Amino acid sequence: MASKFWTQGGSDTEEEETDIEDEIENGGAGETTAAAAGSRYLQTNASDSDDSDGQKRVVRSAKDKRFEEMASTVDQMKNAMKINDWVSLQESFDKINKQLEKVMRVTESDRVPNLYIKCLVMLEDFLAEALANKEAKKKMSSSNHKALNAMKQKLKKNNKQYEELINKYRENPESEEEKFEDEDEDEDEDESGSELEDPSQIAAESSDEDDEGEDVDDDDADGAWEKKLSKKEKLMDREFKKDPSEITWDTVNKKFKEVVAARGRKGTGKFEQVEQLTFLTKVAKTPAQKLEILFSVISAQFDVNPGLSGHMPINVWKKCVQNMLVILDILVQYPNIVVDDMVEPDENETQKGADYDGTIRVWGNLVAFLERIDNEFFKSLQCIDPHTREYVERLRDEPLFLVLAQNVQEYLERIGDLKSAAKVALRRVELVYYKPQEVYDAMRQLAVLSEDGEKDGDETKVEETRGTSAFVVTPELVSRKLTFPENSRALMDILVTLIYKSGDERTKARAMLCDIYHHALFDEFSIARDLLLMSHLQDTIQHMDVSTQILFNRAMAQVGLCAFRVGLIAEGHGCLSELYSGGRVKELLAQGVSQSRYHEKTPEQERLERRRQMPYHMHINLELLEAVHLICAMLLEVPNMAANSLDAKRKVISKTFRRLLEVSERQPFTGPPENVRDHVMAATRALCKGDFQKAFDVINSLDVWKLLRNRESVLEMLKAKIKEEALRTYLFTYCFSYDTLGLDQLTKMFDLSDAQIHSIVSKMLVNEELHASWDQPTRCIIFHDVEYSRLQALAFQLTEKLSILAESNERAVEARFGGGGLDLPLRRRDNQEYAAGTAGGGGGRWPDLSYNQGRQGSSGRAAYTGGGRPLALGQASRDRSSQSRGTGGYSGRAGSGMRGYQMDASARMVSLSRGVRG
């Protein structure tokens, strides 16, 4: 992947560069400012000419070489000083003395170079300082200490020779260097200043940097060679600027190559390079060249990024986007230019001018750039504190990116690269999918507003740039304006359709998940569910990358919320239960790091996890999610508990809920509810008694409901559900105490209409949850006492146990003989572990499960409560065997075994009775 390439490149160069920066900063501080600047100057010089070796030969005088060597030695010494390493300092000192001899020989003068004197002074000061610091001296290692003493002797002896010069230097350190050092100093300032500078100045600077390497050899004056050079540089530069006609494609190309080659090397400032390249774009001769340079500008801008975890400075990011737009302008203007990252284009491809007819190939990858820009945007949102104004400001840049993405996508569609277009479309989808209509509208408005506001600013900027560059004018062909459909659904539809048509697997899967999320957000549960089930994503999600798994979890959470909003409690619970089963919701949704008591994470894992986090504005409210999950669980579990009060462990719908309930029951004193859990637990207690009003009041007092759009209707629905479940719970709990129960009584108690109660009770009768019948004339429910006996209950339990045993036996046999049998559970288990490990887990088969659960539960319940009927036992086992795979044989066996037993018993009876008779 291209994006991978970029990130790697970034990290490589970044480290080196920070090193250098440190060095510069430290060197610049304190008394050796001038020296540092000087040496650095020489150093850049050195590296520049080194670099150019590969491309063209630069003849350098021996003298220069010597000077460079010396400068580098001085640098080494400085480094040694910094870490107080006297051993290497001593070595360097010996080296510099040797070099001095060479320099003297080459320059054929008896004048000792300033650099050397400066170095001596520096050493002397440092030595004095070191000697003065007794503490540090004591701490030194023995070898270091020895070296220090030796150095003291040597320096004393050595300095005697140059006493005069040193004194002179000490008296007036500037006088010697001023002349040639001032150039560098102001260059320094420029650098440390901001990147928002007058372009002309940047130009001056960059070119004088570039040209040094070539120009050095022209000088041969002894002492003041540097000074001369810089003057000449300036002259050159001015010429460069003033005589546009003289600048040829060749010169620009040459410089461009040079600058690009310097990328990632020591001593190349990141900002500097960007500026140099930016300048070059202005003097580019052909559109293709400009394009090429622009690509490099963007790569250089990516390099500015301080680290993998940090994000790109925002202003650089914005510039980057602008550059991308310019690229698009060029591409639109000259349709014969083709951007490609597969073939290495011809060296002089970009020479072909605007009037060239054939296709011009330029190296570059628009999609990779775009994805990188998006990633940087995402990262910046991760890093910025969401509660600050800065975050909001940053969010406002989103339309900017959307414009760019839209344009890139249009361009790609036009040139027929639909695969890449799908990728870009996915990026757009990922920015839109989580936005409810209100947010979407707000973003549209913001986009329109900011467009109006920026119009003027843009124009002036364009004017400015035009002032300096007149070679290749790129009119703004690509629109800078967003063209959003009114409805976010419409936008999603367009994008998603494109992706489904031409995206690759991962892109499609992600787009599908975004689509599901978006549908769920708009309360279209059935569509979301159908999409989810049709796509079979839950089967394959474990094999996807972590971020897609997170997206899947998010989508599931949203589908769950949606199901709740539309009143489908069981479905909602099915979607959410697995998320909450592990107690790692935060981690699964990438909305925060949850601490695990049992295993420590390595810093590496932690960093990875932090990089996966969702930005704050994309979060799904966890309190709401928890409330919805627990309420769903409550509505399902409370009547279930009441129905199976005999053995509570038997049918557990929500383990999480049961556990919470146990914990809350164990409390000696229950205070007023504080958090979501307490509220739901309080409601549960009320509901268990059939007190729906209290239950609803408690739930209603939660303040997460204000996060819902259609709060009123949802609460209305909730109230109806609570009433219904309260009625069911009441009937389950107290049916033993009644012979008959009047309908009017129930309507009064539960504030439900006759029809509602009639339908609920009838449903229970049909499901055989309640053994009763309606007596229409008296409007009563007549309960039948068909409680199965304890022995029967135990028999059921036993059959269940037996079937479990048989199944595991079968599996064991399979493992022994079938070979493949063992692999299957193994693999599944491994997958689960993997999923847990990658925090994306959870997912997998659970939606599948959830949809089954309802069915399974009800059928199980039917079989269970149908104990009164003689067939029930066989039925139950048959039910189970049809659910469990391949146990058909077992149920048959059980049946025959039973029959056999009965026959046996009867046979014995006969024989016994015969015996009696006998």
Partner 1 sequence: MASSMARSFLQVAATEEVASPLRVVQIEGLVILKIIKHCKEFSPALVTGQLLGLDVGSVLEVTNCFPFPIREEDEEIEADGANYQLEMMRCLREVNVDNNTVGWYQSTILGSYQTVELIETFMNYQENIRRCVCIIYDPSRSNQGVLALKALKLSDSFMELYRANNFTGEKLREKNLSWVDIFEEIPIQVSNSALISAFMTELESDTPVKQCDYDRLQLSTKPYMERNVEFLIECMDDLSMEQQKFQFYYRSLSRQQAQQQAWLQKRRTENMARKAAGEEPLPEEDPSNPIFKPIPEPSRLESFLVTNQIANYCNQINGVAGQNFNRLYLMKSLHDN
**913 forms part of the interface with partner 1 (CB under 8 A):** yes
> Taking contact as CB under 8 A, which single stretch among the options 651-659, 663-671, 752-760, 796-804 is the one that binds partner 1?
796-804
Q: How many chain residues are in contact with partner 1, going by CB under 8 A?
A: 27
Report the distance separating Cα 52 and Cα 49, nearest Å.
5
Phi-psi region of 839 (alpha: psi -120 to 50; beta: other; left: phi over 0): left
Among 599, 706, 790, 914, indicate the residue that binds partner 1 (CB under 8 A). 790
Query: At its nearest, how many Å lie between partner 1 and the CB of residue 864?
Result: 16
DSSP states along 82-97:
HTT-HHHHHHHHHHHH
**477 forms part of the interface with partner 1 (CB under 8 A):** no
Q: Which residues pair with 773 in a beta bridge?
A: 782
**20 forms part of the interface with partner 1 (CB under 8 A):** no
Nearest to partner 1 of 79, 832 (CB atom)? 832
Query: At its nearest, how many Å lie between partner 1 and the CB of residue 916?
Result: 8
> Taking contact as CB under 8 A, which single stretch among the options 110-118, 202-210, 797-805, 885-893 is the one that binds partner 1?
797-805
Instruction: Give the footprint of partner 1 on residues 846-905 (CB under 8 A).
Output: 901, 904-905
DSSP states along 569-595:
HHHHHHHHHHHHHTT-HHHHTTSSPPP
- Rounded-to-10 torsion of CA 429, 430, 436, 439: -100
User: Of 507, 618, 577, which Cα lies nearest the Cα of 851?
Assistant: 577
**811 forms part of the interface with partner 1 (CB under 8 A):** yes
Among 221, 812, 813, 871, indicate the residue that binds partner 1 (CB under 8 A). 812
> Taking contact as CB under 8 A, which single stretch among the options 340-348, 632-640, 756-764, 790-798 is the one that binds partner 1?
790-798
Q: Which residues pair with 783 in a beta bridge?
A: 772
Task: At 362, list the tokens.
Answer: 């330029």
Instruction: Give the footprint of partner 1 on residues 350-369 (CB under 8 A).
Output: none
Query: At its nearest, how many Å lie between partner 1 and the CB of residue 815?
Result: 6
H/E stretch holding 742 reads strand 740-742
- Residue 362 sits at φ, ψ, to 5 deg, of -125, 140
**448 forms part of the interface with partner 1 (CB under 8 A):** no
Among 248, 808, 858, 883, indicate the residue that binds partner 1 (CB under 8 A). 808
Query: At its nearest, how many Å lie between partner 1 and the CB of residue 874?
Result: 18
**473 forms part of the interface with partner 1 (CB under 8 A):** no
Instruction: Give the footprint of partner 1 on residues 66-85 (CB under 8 A).
Output: none
Among 131, 805, 813, 903, indicate the residue that binds partner 1 (CB under 8 A). 805
**815 forms part of the interface with partner 1 (CB under 8 A):** yes
Nearest to partner 1 of 224, 813 (CB atom)? 813
Nearest to partner 1 of 388, 808 (CB atom)? 808
> Three-class SS of residue 161?
helix
Query: At its nearest, how many Å lie between partner 1 and the CB of residue 909?
Result: 5
**791 forms part of the interface with partner 1 (CB under 8 A):** yes
Nearest to partner 1 of 491, 872 (CB atom)? 872
DSSP states along 436-499:
-HHHHHHHHHHHHHHHHHHHHHHHHHHHHHHHH--SS-----S--S----SSHHHHHHHHHHHH
End-to-end CA distance of the chain: 93
Report the distance separating Cα 546 and Cα 730, nearest Å.
46
Q: Which residues pair with 340 in a beta bridge?
A: 363
By the 10 Å C-beta count (0-12 exposed, 13-18 middle, 19+ buried), 909 is classed as: exposed
Query: At its nearest, how many Å lie between partner 1 and the CB of residue 823?
Result: 9
> Taking contact as CB under 8 A, which single stretch among the options 273-281, 303-311, 627-635, 808-816 is the one that binds partner 1?
808-816
Report the distance separating Cα 261 and Cα 90, nearest Å.
35
Nearest to partner 1 of 388, 789 (CB atom)? 789
> Three-class SS of residue 788?
coil
Q: Cβ atoms within 10 A of the Cβ of 767, count? A: 14
Among 200, 710, 789, 896, indicate the residue that binds partner 1 (CB under 8 A). 789
Report the distance separating Cα 720 and Cα 726, nearest Å.
10
612 touches 546 (CB < 8 A)? yes
> Taking contact as CB under 8 A, which single stretch among the options 58-66, 343-351, 593-601, 907-915 is the one that binds partner 1?
907-915
**749 forms part of the interface with partner 1 (CB under 8 A):** no
CA 4, 6, 9, 13 torsion-angle sign:
negative
The site for partner 1 (CB under 8 A) is made up of 789-791, 794-795, 797-798, 801-802, 804-805, 808-809, 811-812, 815-816, 822, 826, 901, 904-906, 908-909, 912-913
